[in-house]
């Protein structure tokens, strides 16, 4: 994924055959100011991008833009969502976002890579090589969250991607992100998103075009 500011000369080409590009071009009186405040410069790039969620927003924009009534307004809302989602990938690495110290970095990496596993505080502290109390204190200071809260938000984030991009059952999604109990998964999801997984899918689910 890459971002190119308007008016900046550029060129790009595929490094292999079969290249497919999806792009969004937008403008407006406040667009440059908005992007500048978010943190975009003339060029941003990431080679490590999970494109699934971006493709879905792109499809939704493409579909809604065709609506004769308020299609432009609805597309603008989705475009803003797309920009913020892209900014999270292009501008904020985990280490930069949280000012991560060497104490919690191994734990953050472990959660991000193994969030589907049974993870405990004791296990995370052991991975970090410090006492449980010190680990929890540093983690909260650096991230503003407790370790298990970070784990829950990571799981819910991944669950949202599955809910809006696949037709898998809620039970499958629950299990796929590390929750063996579907009812508990629903409770955690509603705690952070304000709605149930089923309602989230109905509101923002897959659109086939």
CA torsion sign for 103, 109, 112, 114 is negative
What are 29-63's pLDDT values in tens digits?
888 888 888 888 888 887 766 677 777 788 888 88
What are 78-88's pLDDT values in tens digits?
888 888 888 87
Contacts of 46 (CB under 8 A, 6+ apart): 1, 2, 89, 90
Tokens, residue 56: 């879905």
Find tokens 């104490």 and name the residue: 103
pTM over 0.85: no
Q: Which of 112, 142, 144 is nearest to 127 (CA)?
A: 112
User: In whole angstroms, what is the distance from residue 15 CA to residue 19 CA?
Assistant: 8
Note whether 2 and 46 are within 8 A (CB): yes
Contacts of 84 (CB under 8 A, 6+ apart): 38
């Amino acid at each position: 994924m890459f971002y190119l500011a308007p008016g900046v000369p550029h060129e790009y080409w595929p490094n292999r055959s079969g290249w497919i590009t999806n792009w969004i071009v937008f403008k407006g009186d406040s667009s440059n100011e908005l992007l500048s405040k978010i943190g975009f410069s003339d060029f941003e790039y990431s080679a490590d991008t999970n494109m699934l969620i971006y493709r879905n927003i792109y499809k939704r924009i493409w579909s809604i833009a065709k609506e004769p009534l308020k299609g432009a307004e609805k597309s603008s809302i989705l475009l803003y969502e797309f920009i913020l989602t892209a900014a999270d990938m292009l501008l904020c690495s985990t280490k930069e976002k949280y000012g991560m110290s060497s104490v919690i970095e191994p734990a953050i990496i472990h959660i991000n890579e193994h969030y589907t596993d049974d993870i405990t505080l004791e296990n995370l502290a052991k991975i970090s090589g410090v006492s449980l109390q010190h680990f929890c204190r540093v983690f909260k200071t650096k991230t503003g969250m407790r370790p298990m809260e970070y784990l829950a938000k990571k799981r819910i984030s991944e669950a949202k991607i599955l809910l809006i991009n696949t037709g898998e059952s809620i039970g499958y999604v629950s299990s796929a992100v590390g929750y063996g109990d579907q009812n508990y998964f629903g409770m955690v999801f509603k705690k952070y998103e304000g709605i149930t997984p089923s309602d989230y899918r109905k509101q923002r689910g897959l659109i086939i075009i």
